[in-house]
Amino acid sequence: MKALKTWDYVYVSVQLVLFILYAFPPFRWTFHLGILLQYLFLAGSFFGLIVLFLAMAQLNTNLTPWPSPKIGGTLVSSGLYRFVRHPIYAGILVFAICFALYSGTGSRLILSVLLWLLFHFKSSYEEKLLSAKFPEYEEYRTRTGRFVPGFQL
């Protein structure tokens, strides 16, 4: 077991709260998109889930819910990780945004933006820890997008 830091608990706790609020929207602000757009966003939701589960599988034994890397873990920079540094977060964001648009739920759309902000700060924290553990991480970070290939966002 690794020594978890306070920020590990903070980030994962906030993430869990946002996931629960997303699943059970706190207020009903709805909108309607045309059926063609709804199907497009439904397909986008499935794409996000595929990215999420593929990225989790590619991490294999390195997978952890905490931002701190596992003791004895290795740096994964192949597969989806060749294109983006955080494909799990990217998959969650694509799913969350697309499903919010598909379902026409404004509160879910707002929560998707909050998830993006959380993942931005959580991934910055995670990257400091990865840079300290893996000397090659800085070079990897400069050539790979954070959530979207080619974009450091």
Residue 126 lies in a domain: yes
Residue 94 lies in a domain: yes
Question: Looking at the 3D structure of the chain, how many domains does it have?
Answer: 1
- 152, 98 Cβ separation under 8 angstroms: no
Cβ-based burial of 13 (10 A; exposed 0-12, middle 13-18, buried ≥19): exposed
Residue 117 lies in a domain: yes
For residue 61, the Cα-to-chain-centroid distance in whole angstroms is 18
Give the model confidence (pLDDT) of 40-50 as tens digits: 999 999 999 99
Residue 4 lies in a domain: no
Q: Which of 58, 124, 56, 62 is nearest to 91 (CA)?
A: 56
Give the model confidence (pLDDT) of 61-111 as tens digits: 999 999 999 989 999 999 999 999 999 999 999 999 999 999 999 999 999
pTM of the model: 0.93
Residue 112 lies in a domain: yes
* CA dihedral for 58, 62, 63, 69, sign (positive or negative): negative
Structural domain boundaries, residue 110: 32-57+79-135
Residue 141 lies in a domain: no
Residue 105 lies in a domain: yes
Say what the pLDDT of residue 1 is: 43
Residue 142 lies in a domain: no
